[in-house]
Amino acid sequence: MKEAKKTDERLREIHSQVAQEVLFRVERAFAAFFRRVKKGETPGYPRFKGKGHYKSLTFPQFGRGKGASFQDGKLKLSKIGPIKIKLHREIPGTVKTVIVKRDATGRWWAILAIEIELFQQERHIGPAVGVDAGLEKFAALSDGNIIENPRYLRKTEERLKCAQRELSRKEKGSRNREKTRRKLAKLHAKVYSQRMDFLHKQSQKLVSTCSMIAVEELNIKGMVKNHHLAKSISDASWSEFVAMLGYKAEEAGTKLVKVNASGTSQECSRCRAIVPKGLSERMHCCPHCGLTLDRDVNTARNILKRALAVGAA
């Protein structure tokens, strides 16, 4: 890198650790490539990213006299200078790394990696609940509550299609194309923000009221291979929801248990009898004990029972 700086003036304008971090990314990309080759997977050769595709800078050290720091209410970046920043909340720990990133709409973000001291949380007091994820409903809970599926992508789909068609008609490299590209990017960003806001609120609500949350183990990669359901599954973002439950439950002192949910939709949650039903049947009606309720709530109750059995074992 030192030799390259002698001949390339642009490299001298970049902080040394930022340039080193780029090399580390290339190293990680090729290490992952060779690991996939050895495993016999589809490797996917690392793609070169020109200046138009490279949208983030990493400052691995934070503090006065280092690559990045806070000074006079601004974020000071070495070789760049002080930048106004909007802090959404007080930083709870010690900042270790800063990533400055530009999104598709042209907005800039400072992503702060912080170090905090975690204390052993007392076990949360509250009921245990089973959660059954779905497409018609986002989730059904074992207590009978239903979380409706907001379907943000589906609601914005027509506007996205119109913007995409408009973009395809613009001349490449023109100002109008860039303007339309940003319009499309803003629509996608809005869908993403709506989805993340929904997931954060629902996951926080569960971990703040329940002592244990039981969820099913989902093979999302396998499920999205079904091209008829892939878009709806991605729109629901179940894996992101479970990930949020995981780290929020740990902080709140709530236990998260994942169970194999195979057969839970066909089993009666009261008498354990097998009641076969097709996907079009949305009610569980047990001919043995007479239990009648929403099939997804029945599934959630079975998921909870399996989780309690695992906890007891």
Does residue 252 sit within a domain?
Answer: yes
Does residue 120 sit within a domain?
Answer: no
Q: Please give the pLDDT value at position 277.
A: 87
Does residue 180 sit within a domain?
Answer: no
269 and 302, same structural domain? yes
CB neighbourhood size of 184 (10 A):
18
Residues 6+ apart with CB under 8 A from 134: 140, 149, 296
Q: For residue 23, with 0-12 CB atoms within 10 Å meaning exposed, 13-18 middle and 19 or more buried, which class applies?
A: exposed
136 and 56, same structural domain? no
DSSP string, 13-79: TS-HHHHHHHHHHHHHHHHHHHHHHHHTS---PPPP--TTT--EEEE--BSTTSSEEEETTEEEETT
68 and 142, same structural domain? no
260 and 142, same structural domain? yes
Does residue 31 sit within a domain?
Answer: yes
Q: How does pLDDT run across 5-46, given as a tens digit for each residue?
A: 777 777 788 888 888 888 898 999 999 999 999 998 888 899
How far apart are the C-alpha atoms of 306 and 257, rounded to whole Å?
9
The pTM of the full predicted model, rounded to 2 decimals, is: 0.82
How far apart are the C-alpha atoms of 13 and 6, rounded to whole Å?
12
235 part of the active site = no
Q: How does pLDDT run across 208-259, given as a tens digit for each residue?
A: 999 999 998 877 777 767 777 778 778 888 889 999 999 999 888 899 999 9
242 and 111, same structural domain? no
13 and 71, same structural domain? yes
User: Which one is catalytic: 21, 235, 267, 296?
Assistant: 296
8 part of the active site = no
Q: Please give the pLDDT value at position 120.
A: 63
Q: Whole domain around residue 58: which residue ranges?
A: 2-115
Does residue 154 sit within a domain?
Answer: no
140 and 12, same structural domain? no
User: Which one is catalytic: 216, 240, 281, 294?
Assistant: 216
Contact 57, 99 (CB under 8 A): yes
Q: 8: number of CA atoms within 13 Å, CB side? A: 10
68 and 33, same structural domain? yes
Residue 266: CATH number of its domain: 3.30.420
Q: How does pLDDT run across 74-132, given as a tens digit for each residue?
A: 999 998 899 999 887 888 888 999 999 988 888 899 999 998 877 666 777 789 999 99
* Beta strand 212-216 pairing with 128-133: parallel
Q: State the Cα angle at 219 between 214 and 221, rounded to 5°.
A: 145
Is 312 a residue whose pLDDT tops 50? no
144 and 76, same structural domain? no
258 and 139, same structural domain? yes
28 and 132, same structural domain? no
142 and 245, same structural domain? yes
281 part of the active site = no
How far apart are the C-alpha atoms of 291 and 52, rounded to whole Å?
60
User: How many residues can be counted in the chain?
Assistant: 313
Number of domains in the chain: 2
Give the containing element (helix H, strand E) for 256.
Answer: strand 255-259
User: Which one is catalytic: 21, 132, 235, 267?
Assistant: 132
Does residue 239 sit within a domain?
Answer: yes
User: Rg of the chain over CA atoms, in angstroms?
Assistant: 25
Does residue 283 sit within a domain?
Answer: yes
